[in-house]
Amino acid sequence: MKSDERYKEAIELIESSRQISVVGHLNPDADALGTALGLWWILKGIGKRVDTVMASRPLPQNLSFLPGYEKIRERVNPGSDLLISVDCGSFDRLGVKMPEGAKLINIDHHRSNAGYGDVNIVEPSGASASETAFGLVSAAGWPLPRESAVNFYAALLSDTGFFGYEGVDARVFDFAKRLLELGADAEWTARMLRENQPLSKLRLLPKVLSTLQLYLQGRVAGLDVTQRMLKESGATVNETDDMVNYARSLATVEVGFLIREEPDGSLKVSLRSKSRADVGRIALAFGGGGHLRAAGFTCRDMEHNMLRERLLKKIEEELQ
């Protein structure tokens, strides 16, 4: 199906819907929250009955500055006839059940997206899910209020690493410029994303850094997060999201990974690379996915040491 046909079908579904739920992935980050809330404001503005839904709790408190954050629901309205998923590569990562007879629009920018929607607007070249959503909104000609611009800009800023990741080009800065023209505040948003951290995260950080190990002649670095660390620091899983970047930041390191122990005993792995390794391909081999330089997966059938051994073997193959 051509892109214009996908957009046309999505617009028709939205405009004909009675009740919409905009849903982000479990343990949402700034892109999921910002994109979902940005759409929420837009759809409210065109007169739709709409909720924003994030199934996991607690939500990241450092993102509470996003307009509409306090309105986020934990469950999908059973009367919803349309769900719009954002920034989520597979349906199971939404953590919700589809109301009977409801349709699903899948808006994303992950190349590993499974195409699980009735309509799939997946643009892997996009720097953030908010950029993909903005394309739909622009195609529809719907007004974009200041609150949406703030949300979309926070999503973009976070998912591009403050415009420092691969793939940032003139198109991305054109999108940012448009959001600033619509009311987003560049300085305030950057400050809220960088300097709005809970004390528990700073207490967790030294515990995580103490686990740092180098592998493969210093080309790979790994970190661990245990449930005990989280309990001792009072931190939540959301506060670990960017800690893998410390592993990647070392001078000799090409790939950094973080293995986080989940309450059910499963292991959540985050992967980051600099310029050579395709960590999306590595994650895919373990049933996960993501981007060229940022990806992840969850493992439920291996203990920690075996997982690390197999992960290192896969990384070594990718680095050859």
Q: Where are the domains of the chain?
A: 3-194, 199-319
Among residues of the chain, what percentage have pLDDT more than 90?
Answer: 95
**β partners of residue 267:** 261, 299
Cα–Cα distance measured from residue 78 to residue 83, given in angstroms and rounded to the nearest whole number:
11
Three-class SS state of 297: strand
239-256 core/surface letters (b: 16 or more CB in 10 A; e: else)? bbbebbebbbeeeebbbb
**β partners of residue 185:** none
- Indicate the fold that domain 199-319 takes in CATH: Diaminopimelate Epimerase; Chain A, domain 1 (3.10.310)
Residue 241 has a pLDDT of 87
Q: What is the pLDDT of residues 31-48, one digit of tens each?
A: 999 999 999 999 999 999
Average pLDDT over residues 269-284: 96
Sheet architecture: strand order including 50-53: 50-53, 20-24, 82-86, 103-108, 119-122
Residue 54, amino acid: M
This prediction's pTM: 0.91
Six token digits for residue 220: 């790979």
Q: What is the pLDDT of residues 143-171, one digit of tens each?
A: 999 999 999 999 999 999 999 988 899 99
> Hey, which bits of 109-153 come out as E strands?
119-122
User: Using an 8 Å Cβ cutoff, are 256 and 246 in contact?
Assistant: yes
Average pLDDT over residues 251-256: 98
CA 285 from centre of chain: 20
As to burial, measured by CB atoms within 10 angstroms (0-12 exposed, 13-18 middle, 19+ buried), residue 228 is: exposed
Among left, alpha and beta (phi > 0; psi -120 to 50; other), residue 135 is alpha
How high does pLDDT run on average in the chain? 96
**In CATH, what number does 3-194 get?**
3.90.1640.10
Please determine, for residue 3, whether its predicted confidence score (pLDDT) is greater than 80.
no
> Hey, which bits of 162-293 come out as E strands?
213-215, 220-225, 255-261, 267-273, 289-290
Q: What is the pLDDT of residues 58-98, one digit of tens each?
A: 999 999 999 999 999 999 999 999 999 999 999 999 999 99
User: Using an 8 Å Cβ cutoff, are 105 and 133 in contact?
Assistant: no
